Each structure stands twice: as structure tokens, then as C-alpha cells.
Amino acid sequence: MKIFTSFGEFILMLKGMFTKPENWRMYWKELMHQCVELGIGSLGIVSIVAVFIGAVSTLQTSYQFISPIIPRSVIAQIVRDTVILEFAPTITCVVLAGVVGSKISSELGNMRVSEQIDALEIMGINTKAYLILPKITAALITIPMLVVLAMVLGIWGGRFVGEVTGILPTEIFDRGLLEAFVPYNVKFALVKAYTFALIITAIPAYFGYNVKGGALEIGRASTTAVVSSCIIILLADYVLATILL
Amino acid sequence: MISINNIAKGFSEKPVIEGVSAEFETGKCNLIIGASGSGKTVLMKCLVGLITPDAGEIIYDGENFSRMNEDAKKIMRRKIGMLFQGSALFDSKTVEQNIMFPLDMFSNDTRAEKQKRVDMVLDRVNLTDAHKKFPAEISGGMKKRVGIARSIVLNPQYLFCDEPNSGLDPQTSLVIDKLIREITTEYNITTVIYTHDMNSVMEIGDRILYMYQGKKEWEGNSKEIIFSKNEKLNSFIFASEFLQDAKDMRMLEVSGKIDENRNMDKLLKG
Ligand SMILES: Nc1ncnc2c1ncn2[C@@H]1O[C@H](COP(=O)(O)OP(=O)(O)O)[C@@H](O)[C@H]1O
Ligand SMILES: [Mg+2]
């Protein structure tokens, strides 16, 4: 029962974000600020995760790959496709759900508990619009870019490891990379990226914005926010794969 | 002047405010006093529209706030300044940026004009060396001052202060009270202060409303409060023996038995 009430509140919150900004320039400034916070702020972790995932993909694919009939360049194809289809969008976003999600929910929770949100409301500012919308928009702008970066770095990681371990020389890897490439996969990955970007900002924003109580509740809200966004990402991942593939 | 008529508010069946009516005068410090949990904060949030009351009307100088739509309320709120119990400064902004924020959002002045206004209000609250500090780096009393500066930066007609003295030492409390009173008369603001601080009551209580368990129990000014026979009020305000004595003394003083210099020789000699 409670989940339906929460869902209703969540939808109302999203609806409440769309009003005419009190001052466009300030909203723009806030949006830029959030792009830096969420986008640039996550560059490091996203890059590290992507390179390692790509590297491990090459190692494991080659380990499972024992048939001498199939050319080894197929390893590159498999690495490319798994990275593009699943690893770059999904794993990146699950990691970002932790990084970005906890940040958003604890920031808003703290603002709620210390009455900063009330202070903004008193000034006549729509806090849903001013505090939440720029975060979601910033995520919709930066996260797909991070996902594309993760694709490139993931494949590079796989290629690099293939070379240094001698599993797959770069000439063969590069040849495989260009074989049977389906551009639709990139489009599919981007659809996922946009969906996940929405999930990992809107859900933590909801939990943070509605915190009641004190410091303990802020921590609790951020845990709930991260756990539920991760689960919803995986659900959405499944649903999108069913619909779009 | 702000008039409230029969305001009521409850949370999940439990009544918190029950039918409170009052008038708050312009250019005066209107105090709402009551024990912790008596519903002061809830009443204040009803007044400024952060909480919608279950019943009753709120009228700001003839304009019925309760009947306004969201947009009209938003415009109305720009005439309202508010000092929060915990100051509610934006932690990610410096003192100066905190005060600049309402100006950036709502005024079309040039950068220089805005800066001048910020310096002026900070000067007004006697803070001249904290411009670049963050809220975490300043003391509780300074935070309150920044809170006051931020609430008056847009020249409000109405000022709400929720427990301006909570968490402050008695001396700093007096300074903050004095500041609020000066600002009130200087800019002719309708100020509503929520407090349970005895000193404020006696020092700045132009009008006092005593809340007891969500109801208005007593109303008057700081002179009348001394002579009040209301038992609940007496036991709340003059809680300690020391304060009871102070009250008796003040009564003697007001009724002319002691002169203003508290020269008590005559009384003590018998
Ligand atoms: N959002 C809320 N939900 C439920 N109960 C509340 C809420 N806000 C306040 N209350 C209750 O209302 C009563 C009055 O609280 P409050 O106005 O904060 O008292 P105070 O006079 O100390 O400011 C308290 O018993 C509190 O538990
Ligand atoms: Mg209170």
C-alpha cells in the first residue's frame, strides 16, 4: 500500500518541477554547476571501472574460447558487443547510482532537515524546480556522455590487455572490432543510458527531498535511495532488453 | 498588520493548533510564547504557507493569504522575511553569497548595487569581517545575524523569527533581540517572534500571545504579563523562584513602590 502512496508522491514531485523559473539565469547557473558536479565529478570512477571491465572481458572471453575453428578475432567482437550493450551502460550506471545517488539524497536530505528548503520556499522559490530539475537535467546531459566514454575506454582496456598478455595482438583485435558491427547497439545503449540517468537522479532526489527527522534519517534515506535505484536499474535493463532487442 | 482567524491544524487526527485567532501589529514585535511542543513552529509555518492549515484564515494587510493561488502566494512571500530556528543558511555558500542569493534571484539591480546592499545589511547586523566565511566556520550568534541579514535584504514588510534565541548565551540573546526590535521599528515591519525565552518577553514584548497545548491561553503586553493572574502563564513564564522574585520586584517597581534606580533602601529598612 505504502509503495503506491510513494509512487503517487513521486509522480507529483516530478510534475511539480515544471513551472516557470523565477530567474532563468540562476537556473542556468545551477544547471551548469550540477553538470560539473555530476559529470566531471564522476569521470575518474567511470574511467577506472570501464578500463577494468574491458580488460576482464578480453581475459574471460579468451578463456572460454577453446574452439580452434572460430577465428580469434571474434574475441574482439564479443568484447565490443558486451561492453557496448551491457557493461558500459549498466555497470557504469549502477556505480553512478552509488556515487551520484547518495550525493543527491544526502544533499537534499540535509537541506530539508536544516530547513534550508523551507528557507528557499519562503523566498518564493519552487524548490522542486530549483533543486531537483537541474540535477535530473544535468544527469541526462552528462551520463550518456560518460557511458560513451565508458564504451571507448572499455574496448581500449580489452585491446590493451589482449596485447600485453599476448592473448590477442592488436592487429587481430582491431580487425575483429570492425567485423559485424551493428550501429543499432550503440543506439540501444544510449536509450539505456538516458533511462538510467533519470532513475539514478529522480529516485534519490525523491528520498532526499522527503526526509523527515535528523541525521540518522538522512543516512537511511540515502541507503534506501541507492538500493532502490540499483534494483530499478536492473529491472529497467531487463525490460528494455525485452522490448528493444 | 496580520490577522489570523480560527487557525486549526492537526497531524494524522492529532490536533496541534486549535482555533487560534490573533492580530499582529505593524512596527511592533509580536511575540508568540509557549512551551516546546506547544505548536509555535507549526503555527508559524501555517502563517507563511509552508503548511496548509485545516481551517481558518490568514490576512496580510487586507489580503487574504488563505484564498490565494500558488502563484499569488509566491509573490506574497517575497514580502516576507524569515529567521529560522537553526538559521537555515545554505552550507555550500559563503556568508556573502547567502545574502546575495535572494537578490540574484529576484532583483534586476547591477552587480555593484547588489554588493552595496549586501554590505549594507551585513553592516546593519554588525557583521563586518565574515563576508567570505562559510556557515560552518562561524558561531551560532553570527549565524543568527547572517540569517537576519538574509531575511531583510529584500526589504520585507513582514518578518517571522522562530526562536531567535535558541542555543545562544543570554548576552548574545539580548543583542539579537535588540537588533530585531531596532530593525522592526526602523523599517516599520510587522514582526512575529516565536520564543520561550523569558528575557525576550520582558524586553521586546510589545504584544504577547501565550499558547498552551495548541490554544491561545493569554494575550497582552510585557507590562500586563507581570500582573497577570493566569496560573498556566505564571508557572510557564516565572518558572523559577528567582524569576518569581523578579516578578514581585517588577510589580513593586511598576506600582511605584520602588523607584527606577531600584533604590530599595527604604523597603529594606522596613
Ligand atoms: N510534520 C509534522 N507531522 C506530525 N506532527 C508534527 C509535525 N510537525 C510538528 N508536529 C507536532 O506538533 C507539535 C508542535 O510542534 P512545534 O510546532 O514544532 O512545537 P514548538 O512550539 O516547540 O515549535 C509537536 O507535538 C510535534 O510533534
Ligand atoms: Mg519550534
On the question of pLDDT at A92 being above 80, the answer is yes
CA A47, CA A42: separation in Å to the nearest integer? 9
Contact B42, B51 (CB under 8 A): yes
Cell of A34: 550540477
Indicate the residue of A22, A118, A126 with minimum beta-carbon distance to B88.
Answer: A118
Residue B88 lies in a domain: no
Interatomic CA distance for residues B30 and A136, integer angstroms: 43
8-state DSSP, B19: E
Contact assignment for B82 to A122 by CB distance below 8 Å: yes
- B111 lies in the same domain as B183: no
Residues B7 and B141 in one domain: no
What percent of chain A is modeled with pLDDT above 90?
A: 89
Q: What is the pLDDT of residue A97?
A: 96
Residues B11 and B71 occupy one common structural domain: yes
State whether the beta carbon of B214 lies less than 6 angstroms from ligand 1: no
Residue of B nearest to A119 (CA): B88
What is the pLDDT at residue B247? 81
- Is residue B190 within 8 Å of residue B158, measured between CB atoms? yes
Q: Does A22 sit within 8 Å of B86, measured CB to CB?
A: no
Determine the Cα–Cα distance for residues B57 and B217; give it in Å rounded to an integer: 20
Tens of pLDDT, residues A1-22:
788 999 999 999 999 999 999 9
Residue B131 lies in a domain: yes
Which range of residues forms the domain containing residue B47? 1-79+156-235
**B267 and B229 share a domain?**
no
Sign, CA torsion B13/B18/B19/B25: negative
| Residue B29 and residue B197 in contact, taking contact as beta carbons nearer than 8 Å | no
Q: Which ligand is nearest to the CA of B212?
A: 1
Could you give the angle at the alpha carbon of B103 between the alpha carbons of B101 and B109, nearest 5°? Answer: 140
Q: Which residue has the higher pLDDT, B214 or A233?
A: A233
CB contact under 8 A, A122 and B105: no
Residues B15 and B63 in one domain: yes
Task: For chain A, count helices (H), then strands (E).
Answer: 11, 0
Cell 509555518 sits at which residue?
B45
Q: Do residues B22 and B73 share a domain? A: yes
User: What mean pLDDT is predicted for residues A193-212?
Assistant: 97
Whether residues B64 and B109 share a domain: the answer is no
pLDDT tens series, chain B, 270 aa = 999 999 999 998 889 999 999 999 999 999 999 888 888 889 999 999 889 999 999 999 999 999 999 888 888 988 999 999 889 999 999 999 999 999 999 999 999 999 999 999 999 898 988 999 999 999 999 999 999 999 999 999 999 999 998 888 888 888 899 999 999 999 999 999 998 888 888 888 899 999 999 899 999 988 888 888 888 888 888 888 888 888 888 888 777 777 666 666 766 665
Per the domain annotation, does B84 fall within a domain?
Answer: no
**Cα–Cα distance, A123 to A148 (Å, whole number):** 40
Phi/psi at B108 (nearest 5 deg)? -100, 15
The pLDDT value recorded for residue B267 is 66
The closest residue, in CA terms, to atom 9 on ligand 1 is B42
The answer as to whether B86 is a domain residue is no
* Residue A178: other Cβ atoms inside 10 A: 11
Position A245 scores a pLDDT of: 84
Residues B196 and B142 occupy one common structural domain: no
Q: Identify whether B222 is part of a domain.
A: yes
Contacts of B73 (CB under 8 A, 6+ apart): B49, B65
Ligand nearest to the CA of B162: 2
Q: Are residues B150 and B160 in the same domain?
A: no
pLDDT band at A167 (very low <50, low <70, confident <90, very high): confident
Query: Do B255 and B132 share a structural domain?
Result: no
- CATH number at B69 reads 3.40.50.300
Protein residue with its CA nearest to atom 18 in ligand 1: B41
- Using a CB–CB cutoff of 8 Å, tell me whether B45 touches chain A: yes
Identify whether B202 is part of a domain. Answer: yes
Q: Test A124 with B74 for CB contact under 8 angstroms.
A: yes
- Strand-pairing partners, residue B92, are none
Evaluate whether ipTM surpasses 0.90: no
Confirm whether B223 is domain-assigned: yes
Mean pLDDT of A52-81: 90
Facing residues of B58 across strands? B4
Residue from B7, B9, B14, B16 whose mutation best tests the ligand 1 pocket (most atoms within 8 A of CB): B16
The string of DSSP letters for B92-128 reads: TS-HHHHHHHHHHHH----HHHHHHHHHHHHHHTT--
Q: Search chain A and give the residue with CA nearest B77.
A: A124
**Residue B38 C-alpha to ligand 2 middle, in angstroms?**
8
Cell reading at A157 = 582496456
Give the CB-side neighbour count of residue B213, counting CA atoms within 13 A: 2
Q: What is the mean pLDDT of residues A33-60?
A: 96
Structural domain tally of chain B?
Answer: 3
Which residues, 6+ apart, have CB-to-CB distance to B129 below 8 Å?
none
Whether residues B164 and B230 fall in one domain: yes
Continuous H helices in chain B: 40-48, 70-77, 95-106, 111-124, 140-152, 170-186, 198-204, 224-227, 231-237, 241-254, 265-269
Minimal CA separation from B144 to chain A, in Å? 13
B85 in any annotated domain: no
Q: Write the residue in B50, B85, B104 that is nearest to A121 by C-beta.
A: B50
CA of B82 to the centre of ligand 2 (A): 13
Which position has the grid cell 534550508? A116
Among A69-73, A105-109, A137-141, name the one with the lowest average pLDDT.
Answer: A69-73
Q: For chain B, positions 67-106, list CB contacts with chain A under 8 A.
A: 74-78, 80-82, 84-86, 88-91, 101-102, 104-106
Burial class (CB in 10 A: 0-12, 13-18, 19+), B157: middle
The answer to whether residues B8 and B65 belong to one domain is: yes
Cross-chain residue pair A116–B77, CB shorter than 8 Å: no
